Amino acid sequence: MTQPATETLTDNAAWASLDQKVAAPRLSVLIPTYRDDPSALLTALDERGVDAEIVVLDDGGGDAALTKRMAGRIEKLKLPARLVVLSRNEGRAKGRNRLADHARGRHLLFLDSDMLPDPKDFLTRWAAVAADDAPVAFGGFTLDQAPRRPEHELHRAMALKSDCTPAPERAREPAKHVFTSNLLVRRDVFEIVAFDERFAGWGWEDVEWALRVARFYPILHIDNSATHLGLDTAATLAAKYEQSAANFARVVAAHREAVSAYPSYKAAKALKAAPLRRAWRPLIKAVALNEAAPVPLRAFALRLYRAALYSDAV
Give percent above pLDDT 90 in the chain: 71
Based on the domain organization, do 226 and 247 belong to the same domain?
A: no
Residue-level pLDDT at 201 = 77
Based on the domain organization, do 148 and 208 belong to the same domain?
A: yes
Any domain includes 1: no
Residue-level pLDDT at 155 = 97
Any domain includes 295: yes
> Is the separation of the CB atoms in 115 and 125 below 8 Å?
no
Burial grade of 124 (CB within 10 A; 0-12, 13-18, 19 or more): middle
> Is the separation of the CB atoms in 222 and 128 below 8 Å?
no
Q: Which residue has the higher pLDDT, 280 or 220?
A: 220
What are the pLDDT digits (tens) for 159-195? 999 899 999 999 999 998 999 999 999 999 999 998 8
* Average pLDDT score, the chain: 91
Domain count, the chain: 2
Q: Is the pLDDT of residue 312 over 90?
A: no
Q: Of the spans 33-42, 48-57, 59-68, 132-141, which averages the highest pLDDT?
A: 132-141
> Is the separation of the CB atoms in 32 and 59 below 8 Å?
yes
Q: Is the pLDDT of residue 22 over 70?
A: no
The rounded distance, in Å, linking the Cα atoms of 23 and 128 is 19
Q: What is the CATH number of the domain that holds 137?
A: 3.90.550.10
Based on the domain organization, do 180 and 65 belong to the same domain?
A: yes
Residue-level pLDDT at 114 = 93
Q: Which domain holds residue 303?
A: 236-313
DSSP tag of 31? E
